[in-house]
Structure 1
């Protein structure tokens, strides 16, 4: 399987990660990535950077030999109406944005509440990826979410850190299998991400490969196989 990109990772600016931007970039080059994305946590996450951080990306070099860098954010879903913790002005300055549930920012609701929140988020034109949607702490109606993701051209994430033995997210692997089978049925695309919080984990999708093989998931629905496919997909929203 071709795997050229990793678009969800954090540096020390997120407050609970352990490598610098330079260290992450060097790791991405050594891994052979063609495109990588840094997505610091948005301001509602305890310990992360101020929103002003996201306004000065123009100073960052975006090209490193054979690898390109994008700068985004993992924004927090704050309520069941799908409100986010980043202003539209700042969202517009990002290359792309991931939206995720995180317990420091929103308490888990019931299946209907969580699904309603995500359906609102999927309509947001700035959101390109839904982060770790298979976290069982936030039960959702996967059929409704997959159909909406397909309709709104939003990528559903396979988050490698969710599937490891040390993950604090529950039932992620089982839920991901359900989600992937629905993605096959409805033709919805997914993205593989490491969610790296240290440079040694950049580009690590090993747990995801096992899962994809288990459900016999078609490569054409995985955007990691082509930089242009990912970039074209961003323009569809």
Structure 2
């Protein structure tokens, strides 16, 4: 039903707890006939994550490896109840796209914080483009409110395959509710692997099964067609004052 052409949530050894190089990742993407990959390394607050200088050095990052187009992103953590992010404005402008998320290794706020309000405020940042693993039961939010805000701010909601395979247990039913809410409100989804080893790149069958179970429309999945994907990536770059 769905054919996903690019994977925008991939971690290399630069993230400190992943196991493959960019070249190894691109090779697997080529074998799986992907057209695009996006390296979304963690920010400097994640243990083992790259220092800010990594994001300053984007000029050395390849735009293409063989026939695979490569995008330079980041998975940016929310640090506290003030919606502080672990990358600053200049770094956010240098990357091609920004994914926002909560992680227990990084979040410094109260355990029972108002995660909905924190996330709604963070979504107002123009350099944030994608909300990662929203269905994580550790960080409960009001899904209709977050989806509404995402649509208002032109953000994309991720369905993260790793949440169903490796981590964030209990996410499946939450993500099903999220997909139904996005469908109802007319928002957009991106399907990702959240790969930490090269063989996981392009692995999102569990996410596709979930979307199929709610009859989610293909035309609202941004990485299900080249035209849609390019349109969204161009919009992410335009916010940063450049094109590709």
TM-score, normalised relative to structure 1:
0.94
Partner of 1:218: 217
Partner of 2:242: none
In structure 2, how many angstroms separate the alpha carbons of the residues matched to 1:36 and 1:226?
A: 14
Q: Could you tell me how far 1:209 is from its partner in structure 2? A: 1.4
Q: Where do residues 59-208 of structure 1 align in structure 2 (5 Å cutoff)?
A: 59-106=60-107, 109-110=111-112, 113-164=114-165, 167-208=166-207
Q: Could you tell me how far 1:219 is from its partner in structure 2? A: 0.7
Q: Could you tell me how far 1:220 is from its partner in structure 2? A: 1.1
Seen in structure 2, the aligned counterparts of structure 1 residues 35 and 189 have a Cα distance that, compared at 3 Å, is same
Deviations 1:109-130 (A, max 9, x none): 44x7100111011111000101
How many correspondences in the alignment?
234
Deviations 1:14-34 (A, max 9, x none): 111011111111111111111
Partner of 1:23: 24
In structure 1, how many angstroms separate the alpha carbons of the residues matched to 2:64 and 2:53?
A: 23
Q: Is the 8 A contact 1:41 1:74 kept in 2?
A: yes
Partner of 2:35: 34
* Larger displacement relative to structure 2 (153-162 or 63-72): 63-72
Partner of 1:7: 8
Q: Is the 8 A contact 1:92 1:126 kept in 2?
A: yes
Q: Could you tell me how far 1:72 is from its partner in structure 2? A: 0.9
In structure 1, how many angstroms separate the alpha carbons of the residues matched to 2:200 and 2:164?
A: 14
In structure 2, how many angstroms separate the alpha carbons of the residues matched to 1:94 and 1:193?
A: 18
Residue 29 of structure 2 aligns to a residue in which SS? helix
Q: Is the 8 A contact 1:137 1:170 kept in 2?
A: no
Q: Which runs of 5+ in 1 are unaligned?
A: none
Residue 73 of structure 1 aligns to a residue in which SS? strand
Q: Which runs of 5+ in 2 are unaligned?
A: 240-244
In structure 2, how many angstroms separate the alpha carbons of the residues matched to 1:60 and 1:233?
A: 21
Q: Could you tell me how far 1:8 is from its partner in structure 2? A: 0.4
Report runs of 4+ in structure 1 exceeding 4 Å deviation: none
In structure 2, how many angstroms separate the alpha carbons of the residues matched to 1:119 and 1:65?
A: 39
In structure 2, how many angstroms separate the alpha carbons of the residues matched to 1:149 and 1:178?
A: 15
Please give the root-mean-square deviation of Cα atoms over the aligned residues, in Å.
1.5
